[in-house]
Amino acid sequence: MHVLGIIDDGATGDRIDRVVDELVEHLSLSGRVGVVRYDATIADGITDVRDATVTPGGEVTYALGADGDWTATGTDLTVTDALNALAPTCAYAIVTGIDRHQSAHPAIVVGSTEAPETDGEHILAAVEQARDLDVAAVQRALEATDPYETLESLVAQIKRRETADRAGAIATFTGRVRAKDSDNDVRTELLEFEKYEGVAEQRMAALQADLEARDGVFGVELYHRTGVIADGEDIVHVVVLAGHREEAFRTVEDGINRLKDEVPLFKKEVTVEETFWVHER
């Protein structure tokens, strides 16, 4: 699923809604679209909307389409909760109501033709209103960015493979940020991953193709996040669709070991005491 943030730079609510409508109408031609709306005005004790992705506080609503074939709302939800719920069945998600410094996803700015500085991903477009938006260009730029995946969305994808009816096993591996190795260890607050652009994608694709060529293996999904990942969050997933459990387990283990060895990803570790690049240690 590709996620697109909408950054409000002084636009009225009607302008934002019209931009969302334009995007949903165009993107829905290519796949199911989810819309996540965050309302910070009713946040209970949340004064920084940058917490909206990980801390319940304001009201989070998510739906299919601009109006929604169905809708879910709650103040105990986070934006991340909503995205995780949409990821297994949606090709795209649009997120509105998040502070410009919060957006961890590619975004467009509405209300100004100048792209503001953000702490998240790059700005794909900046427009005054919906009629200024080149939705086809935004879609192309969005699809060139890394997708948002979860273990559930990867499992859902692999179950849709044409070869799924020959498979009797799905095995998975999830790697996450470990805060400590022991009780006395210095706590890790976050990891930050950077990839060798172009090369990392080629190596990942080659590894996936090699694993899928094995006898009894009918599908492999490999996914590794980049950017800042807090302690306790997922980093990497390996999902294998196979005829039997033996080849499924074996391929999962080989997949994660070879991914770590062969795909050029660089890890920065931030602890409560220091920050360092792991490969330099």
The HSE-up count of residue 52 (CA atoms within 13 Å, CB side) is 30
* pLDDT value for 99: 64
Residues 270 and 231 in one domain: yes
* pLDDT value for 45: 44
Of 121, 67, 62, nearest to 89 (Cα)? 62
Of 81, 65, 53, nearest to 73 (Cα)? 81
CA torsion through residues 202, 205, 208, 210, sign: negative
| Spatial distance between the Cα atoms of 15 and 131, rounded to a whole number of angstroms | 10
- Kindly report, residue by residue over 61-70, the tens digit of the pLDDT: 777 665 555 5
- What total number of domains does the chain contain? 2
* pLDDT value for 42: 55
Residues (pLDDT < 50) of the chain are 43-52, 54-57, 119-120
Type of residue numbered 47: T
Give the position of tokens 């190596």: 203
Domain, as residue range, for 63: 2-143
* pLDDT value for 26: 93
Longest dimension (CA), the chain: 58
* pLDDT value for 50: 41
Among 105, 126, 143, give the residue marking a domain's end: 143
Residues 136 and 180 in one domain: no
Residues 134 and 264 in one domain: no
CATH number of the domain bearing residue 253:
3.90.1170.40
* pLDDT value for 44: 47
* pLDDT value for 57: 45
Residues 206 and 111 in one domain: no
Residues 138 and 159 in one domain: no
Residues 11 and 119 in one domain: yes
Token pair of 208 as six digits: 């996936």
* pLDDT value for 58: 53
* pLDDT value for 1: 94
Among 121, 143, 165, give the residue marking a domain's end: 143
| Spatial distance between the Cα atoms of 126 and 132, rounded to a whole number of angstroms | 9
